[in-house]
Structure 1
Amino acid sequence: MRTVKVLEAKTHLSDLLREVEAGEDVVIARGNVPVARLVAISTEPRQLGFVPWTVPDSFFDDLTEAELGAWDDSE
């Protein structure tokens, strides 16, 4: 990963974008402090969710008296 200072990034933005399009990440630093990173944007559709799982129909069933009581602080 290449690091460039702000002035160089402003001066050579088109070149940096070509590098990013080629798969390189570029860090932009203010002085010696990194403040931003240029990365390519993926054009592939992103999968949503963490795991392939569906909510079973029983999830929507009414709670039993015992389950409701577990939520009640007075017991």
Structure 2
Amino acid sequence: METVNMHEAKTHLSKLVDKASKGESIIIAKAGRPMVRLVAFDAPEEKPKKRIGFMKGQGTFPEDFKAVGREEIEEMFGLSE
């Protein structure tokens, strides 16, 4: 396990991250005192959230859905005869 000081870690962060991603564990110290450990993060890939159809089957629509409110709309726009 490699130990590096804070200044060295800031200067060589990308190299240290490469080492960590290959399985090596690195300790970052401040004034000689170990503060954190840099290790690879193995997280499962995040799946995109399914949005379309998420409420399928949880409600019903009236047969004349497109006609709901038609009279009021026609009145508002002066379309009624």
- Shorter-chain TM-score category? 0.5 to 0.7
* Secondary structure in 1 matching 2:18: helix
TM-score by length of 2: 0.52
Does residue 2 of structure 1 match 2:5?
no
Q: Kindly provide the amino acid, as one letter, of the partner of residue 2 in structure 1.
A: E
Q: Kindly provide the amino acid, as one letter, of the partner of residue 39 in structure 1.
A: V
1:23 shift after superposition:
0.3
* Aligned residue number for residue 33 of structure 1: 33
Q: Kindly provide the amino acid, as one letter, of the partner of residue 10 in structure 2.
A: K
Q: Kindly provide the amino acid, as one letter, of the partner of residue 6 in structure 1.
A: M
The structure 1 segments of at least 4 consecutive aligned residues displaced by more than 3 Å after TM superposition are: none
1:31 shift after superposition:
1.4
1:44 shift after superposition:
4.2
User: Computing the radius of gyration over CA atoms, which structure comes out larger, 1 or 2?
Assistant: 2
1:36, 1:44 → 2: CA distance? 23
* Aligned residue number for residue 19 of structure 2: 19
* Secondary structure in 2 matching 1:37: strand
Calculate the aligned-residue CA RMSD, in Å: 1.3
* Secondary structure in 2 matching 1:40: coil
| Structure 2 residues without counterparts, runs of 5 or longer | 46-81
Q: Kindly provide the amino acid, as one letter, of the partner of residue 38 in structure 2.
A: L
Q: Kindly provide the amino acid, as one letter, of the partner of residue 30 in structure 2.
A: R
Q: Kindly provide the amino acid, as one letter, of the partner of residue 22 in structure 1.
A: K
Aligned sequence identity (%): 44
Count of matched residue pairs:
45
1:43 shift after superposition:
2.7
